[in-house]
Amino acid sequence: MNNHARFRAFDRRTLLKGTAAAAAGMLIDPAFAATAPQASPGKGAKLVLLGTKGGPRVGGKRANPANALVVDGNAYIIDAGLGVTAQCVKAGLNLADIRAIFISHMHSDHELEFGNLVYNIWAAGALHRPIDAYGPAGLEAMAADFWRLNHMDIATRMVDEGRVDPASLLRTHDFIARQGHVMTQDGVSVTAFTTPHPPIEDLAYRFETPHGSIVITGDTAYNPALADFARDVDVLVHEVLYVPGVDELVKRAHGTSTFRNHLINSHTTAEQVGMIATRARAKKLVLTHFVPGDMDWITDDMWRQAVARHYKGEIVVGRDLMEVPLRG
């Protein structure tokens, strides 16, 4: 069985268990977390799109922003929008396999479930070793605030259930450089790049793995320098905005031209995403963080065609729980 096939076999098995847990009405089945296969989960690297809708609104066919990168059985979470834990379970990911969490920026659609994700791993009995979390300035304070917010429950469970303090198993790191090395672990090397997302900034992450490379932009205004950071990457995962959809979004929200300008100026249009992917010489482009992400009249073909005006490579219009191998 080749690596790719082994990966798929593993996915099916864990997916069935995850689905059974979800069907039983449990957010996390502790037995699933504890007994999921530990040995040799398969070599390879794949992206799992956990939530593909841009913005904090809940509902519709897409979940809030979150991604998992699985490399040789180790999982790395990039962004933790509301619902990230449930999406991990639906995707058949073993919570005990999560090694690190990366937050792109401090907008709630990307970090609302950051603390809860770590809590949920702990509550499932799957937090066996320290997890590292990386993000912009403010993430360390957010982690400290989260433990304070939940101290009554945690203290009770520590006494009642003999659990270890979860705060001691989360190492949070504010990334304050403009660009540079973030971490190297288990053959995976990560760098970050600061890109404008007015009025704040965003960290794009680049992962180099033994099975290919991937850049995940987070939210960004059109930024050609980001293409240089993503040069020759195997998979470029880029946020995307569809201008005719934004006009309808503004109308629906009774928004002003200020609201429209904010959206256009802080995100990247589908046409501009094509330009970035071409300049980066990306081998494959994955669209996610759709704005708007809840209008059915915007078809996959419409997203694809807008991007394809400026990019001739492979375009994947992302969907929740879709898996994309880094190579092949």
Distances (CA, A) of 34 to 23, 30, 97, 209, 239: 18, 6, 11, 27, 35
- Choice between 93 and 241, CB closer to Zn ion: 241
- Choice between 18 and 136, CB closer to Zn ion: 136
**49-88 mask for Zn ion (x: CB under 5 A)?**
-----x----------------------------------
Please report how close the Cβ of residue 94 comes to Zn ion at its closest, in angstroms: 27
Please report how close the Cβ of residue 286 comes to Zn ion at its closest, in angstroms: 16
245, amino acid identity:
G
Q: Which stretch binds Zn ion (CB under 5 A): 67-75, 100-108, 116-124, 151-159?
A: 100-108
Strands of the sheet with 98-102, listed across from one edge: 170-174, 131-135, 98-102, 74-80, 66-71, 45-51, 323-325
107 binds Zn ion (CB under 5 A): yes
- Pick from 29, 79, 109, 201 the residue near Zn ion by CB under 5 A: 109
Give DSSP secondary structure letters for 196-219: EETTEEEEEEEEEETTEEEEE--S
- Choice between 97 and 239, CB closer to Zn ion: 239
Record the tokens describing residue 279, joined without a space: 């300049």
Please tell me the count of residues contacting Zn ion according to CB under 5 A.
4
Contact yes or no for 311/279 (Cβ under 8 A): no
- Choice between 29 and 219, CB closer to Zn ion: 219
Handedness of CA 165, 166, 170, 174 (dihedral sign): negative
Report helix, strand or coil for 75: strand
**Residue tagged 């704040």 (tokens):** 200
Q: Which stretch binds Zn ion (CB under 5 A): 15-23, 99-107, 227-235, 302-310?
A: 99-107
Please report how close the Cβ of residue 289 comes to Zn ion at its closest, in angstroms: 6
Of residues 211 through 250, those in contact with Zn ion by CB under 5 A are 219
Of residues 176 through 205, those in contact with Zn ion by CB under 5 A are none
Q: Applying CB under 5 A, which residues contact Zn ion? A: 54, 107, 109, 219
